[in-house]
Amino acid sequence: MAQEKFVREITARDVDFAQWYTDIVLKAEMADYAPVRGCMVIRPYGFAVWEKIKEHADSRFKATGHTNAYFPMLIPESLLQKEVDHFEGFSPEVLWITHGGDEELAERLIARPTSETMINTMYSKWVQTYRDLPVLINQWCSVFRWEKTTRPFLRTVEFLWQEGHTVHETYDDAQEETLRMLEIYRQVIEDEMAVPVILGLKSESERFAGADATYTLEAMMHDGKALQSGTSHNLGQNFANMFDIQFQDREGKLATAWTTSWGISTRLIGGLIMVHGDDRGMVMPPRVAPTQVVIVPIAQHKEGVNEKATDLFDALKDRFSVKLDDRAQYSPGWKFNQWELKGIPLRIEIGPKDIEKNQVVFVRRDTNEKSFVPMENIADAVGDMLDTIQKDMFEAAKARREEKTFSVDNFDDFQAKLDGQNVFLKGMWCGDAECEAEIKEKTGATIRCIPFEEEQEELSDVCVHCGKPAKHMVYYAKAY
Ligand SMILES: [Zn+2]
């Protein structure tokens, strides 16, 4: 009964992916709709996941010399005039603030869609000589984009993110920083979240407004669509020129600085759900799971069961994030379903028969596999199992991506592969933005990235769409 009830509450993933996603977000209590258009409330369970992601990222930022600061959310209109090109990229999504109390403001303000303007204005004041460089600052905050259609975690009017903004002496230093942060994002997303990503360069039309180069991490969701999971921008001297970030160089001459910016957001949680979740609910990779282990006593009214379950809890609580569910008013089956819905990586069952045999039962959330494990050295066994789950989840996601990735060398095949399904297509491209736009128009697929060299392969020497000489091998896909 309980099993049926829970399963009925979640739409099957293959029946309606969008509804399945919404069901998980709401039923697993990750987020809820807010009484304000396009905004969500991140509930404690979803926020705990964000805190884990944040810890994994923040510790790496700090280990590479970055520090955190906080800049105002409100940006005056006059500052925006300095960076017309960049601002035009964001203007349709800008949220204007026009009144203070009853009075109309003399100068309108915007709620930051990103903070290049604010932060670079401060940097022009702080950077005087090469001795002030590099500046390596990160900010954890929320930003605002007046989106027309919204979905929890994937696209909301206000969302949480971090934005790193750095200033350097040379182009090489800025480029090194851009790639260093991309690699840190790869570690957070692949090693901690168990989500495989393809790293590469964005085409010019997909580039961040005002950047010389935008690097991206692209993940494949369970439905075969791509999710841009993080970006790192080499801004060249564009922003330094707009905001007069100049310094006295080592020869005593006035030089223009080089800047970068990079960000990841709560969007990653949407990706986590869409990569790992299944028809029974969320599946959390152990390294970002707010609770890694749940202990469920079986026949807990029998003598000694609750005591043994408590001993087990005590043996694990210092090493893992563990919950003991000894609520007497719920049946074990009801509890199993609830924790499966939440995606807790490992369930440990302990009942009278197990106590007799001095063992416990492990049930993996990712594969549903059951195993009997001796009580001796139980903490080590749990640690090993969590490591195995983490690794297997990554490998499974990677295998699913590979199954849905194809190489194409002509446009008929390109369209056929995208007919009625979502896949990643590797194909050649001429480098022309108009050709790229036509491909999007005809198929809905965009160029996700020009992958780094090691992933490149020569498929043909002509563009898969127009037949002109090809410049790059790229990944094409429909994206969120
Ligand atoms: Zn072409």
| DSSP conformation letters of 368-391 | --EEEEESTTHHHHHHHHHHHHHH
Distance 471 CA to ligand 1 centre (A): 9
Tell me how far the alpha carbon of residue 259 is from its chain's centroid.
24
User: Can you give the pTM of this predicted structure?
Assistant: 0.95
Inter-residue contact 455 to 428 (CB < 8 Å): no
Alpha carbon distance 143, 73 (integer Å): 8
SS3 of residue 409 by DSSP: coil
- Ligand 1 (ion): residues with CB under 5 Å are 430, 435, 463, 465-466
Position 3 scores a pLDDT of: 53
Q: How far apart are the first and last CA of the chain?
A: 36
Distance 433 CA to ligand 1 centre (A): 8
Position 1 scores a pLDDT of: 46
Inter-residue contact 444 to 224 (CB < 8 Å): no
Alpha carbon distance 222, 219 (integer Å): 10
Distance 420 CA to ligand 1 centre (A): 24
Distance 383 CA to ligand 1 centre (A): 51
Position 159 scores a pLDDT of: 97
Position 378 scores a pLDDT of: 97
Task: Give the pairing type, strands 135-144 and 158-168.
Answer: antiparallel
What domains sit in the chain, N to C, each tagged with a CATH number? 17-276 (3.30.930.10), 293-401 (3.40.50.800), 409-477 (3.30.110.30)
Per residue of the chain (480 residues), what is the pLDDT tens digit? 455 556 568 999 999 999 999 999 999 999 999 999 999 999 999 999 999 999 999 999 999 999 999 999 999 998 887 777 667 777 888 999 999 999 999 999 999 999 999 999 999 999 999 999 999 999 999 999 999 999 999 999 999 999 999 999 999 999 999 999 999 999 999 999 999 999 999 999 999 888 999 999 999 999 999 999 999 999 999 999 999 999 999 999 999 999 999 999 999 999 999 999 999 999 999 999 999 999 999 999 999 999 999 999 999 999 999 999 999 999 999 999 999 999 999 999 999 999 999 999 999 999 999 999 999 999 999 999 999 999 999 999 999 999 999 999 999 999 999 999 999 999 999 999 999 999 999 999 999 999 997 666 777 889 999 999 999 999 999 999
- In the block, which residue shows the tokens 């091998």? 473
Alpha carbon distance 276, 278 (integer Å): 7
Alpha carbon distance 110, 132 (integer Å): 30
Per the structure block, which two tokens stand in for 22?
């919404």
Distance 438 CA to ligand 1 centre (A): 9
